[in-house]
Amino acid sequence: MKLLIYGAGIQGSFLTHSLMNKHNEVTLLARGKRKEKLLTDGLVLYHSLQQKQTKDSIRVIETLHPDDRYDLVFVTMKYSDFPTIIEPLARNNSSTILFIGNQLDAAALEKELQEKSKSPKTIYFGFQMTGGTNTEKGISILRFGKGKLKVGSLHTDFKITQLLNAAFSQSDSTWSYETKIDDWLKSHAVLIMIQNSFEYLYDFSSEKIRKSGDLAALSLAMKEAFALLETAGVEILPSGQKRFLRHPRLIKLFFTIYYRLPISQLVQGTFKEIYHLIQSFERYQTIPAPQLDSLLQAAKEKCERSL
């Protein structure tokens, strides 16, 4: 099976490693220094909790050409980068595309890709339940047990069960079908947006966050944000998250513990992606949410000052 992983960051690198076996022909699309490092050293990953390092020899390309054809294309770029890859995907002959990652407007992304494609695409969305950090030594992966990929469609039909089963048949990772993937992705993206905005204001330092005493503000901002989603008709998923987010005191207790654990420093993102999530989220801000507005505005202003 010919598979393309479009994006060589943390998510794309782990997915590439997971899918490499004798039945899959996996290609990783990478550019710049990342491409050169992959060609020189191979795909080297350090698995934090498992305390092991893996190294794979992989096929790397820099450009997706129109005549390149893959059975399945996994797009693992960040939310802020999705618009830049619409044109190459639209011109390419591959017909089955799976976007993986934070997502607040899956319908618009799907519509744009279909409108620009010379032939119809079958488009799916998903999220990989792994994280990690980029270090000087390379990519460090954070995963609990096997990696897991949630996948779903914006439509009632789901036609890639056999394709995914075949791709993951001898993998260290698994996949599962999410019936309400759009709601699930919105719920997760908003959670990440608020948490990362808060952390960004404290330079992603757990020590600074603990000293700030501002976890109550984070808790209230989360409660307000999910109220906005529900007002817009989004179902908060998973359902346990909905119950949890109704209680700011529980949220504050959770994050008080979380920021005392080493694991809080094992997950990394870039605020560029979060900035774009905030911009997309603005259309949901239809009722007063003072604590949320204050948090997001402060994070946006800090980011704009750094440009």
Structurally, the chain folds into a number of domains equal to: 2
Q: How many residues belong to the chain?
A: 307
Predicted pLDDT at 138: 81
Q: What is the pLDDT of residues 272-281, one digit of tens each?
A: 999 999 999 9
Does residue 217 share a domain with residue 110?
Answer: no
CB atoms within 10 A of CB 172: 18
DSSP state of 145: S
- pLDDT at residue 245 above 90? no
Predicted pLDDT at 222: 94
Gap between the Cα atoms of 165 and 150, Å rounded? 13
Task: Give the residue from 65, 41, 36 showing the smallest Cα distance to 53.
Answer: 41
- The encoded tokens of residue 191 equal 């959670």
Mean of per-residue pLDDT scores for the chain: 94
Spatial contact of 31 and 51, defined as CB atoms under 8 Å apart: no
Q: What is the pLDDT of residues 174-217, one digit of tens each?
A: 999 999 999 999 999 999 999 999 999 999 999 999 988 899 99
Predicted pLDDT at 266: 76
Q: Which domain holds residue 140?
A: 2-179
> Lowest mean pLDDT: which of 22-36, 81-95, 125-139, 177-191?
125-139
Reduced to 3 states (helix: H, G, I; strand: E, B; else coil), residue 247 is: coil
Crossing angle between the packed helical segments 181-201 and 106-116, to the nearest 10 degrees: 110
Q: What is the pLDDT of residues 95-138, one digit of tens each?
A: 999 999 999 999 999 999 999 998 899 999 999 999 999 877 78
Residue that is last in its domain, among 179, 210, 229: 179
- pLDDT at residue 158 above 80? yes
Helices (H), the chain: 10-19, 32-41, 86-91, 106-116, 161-167, 181-201, 206-212, 215-231, 239-245, 248-258, 271-281, 290-306
Does residue 244 share a domain with residue 111?
Answer: no
Does residue 161 share a domain with residue 191?
Answer: no
- The model's confidence at residue 269, banded by pLDDT at 50, 70 and 90, is low
Does residue 136 share a domain with residue 11?
Answer: yes
- pLDDT at residue 267 above 90? no
- pLDDT at residue 172 above 90? no
Does residue 234 share a domain with residue 89?
Answer: no
In the chain, % of residues over pLDDT 90: 85
- pLDDT at residue 268 above 70? no
Gap between the Cα atoms of 280 and 86, Å rounded? 18
Does residue 21 share a domain with residue 36?
Answer: yes
Spatial contact of 175 and 19, defined as CB atoms under 8 Å apart: no
Does residue 212 share a domain with residue 288?
Answer: yes
Predicted pLDDT at 34: 94
- The encoded tokens of residue 224 equal 């307000």
In a 13 Å sphere around the CA of 235, the CA atoms on its Cβ side amount to: 10
Residue that is last in its domain, among 164, 179, 194: 179
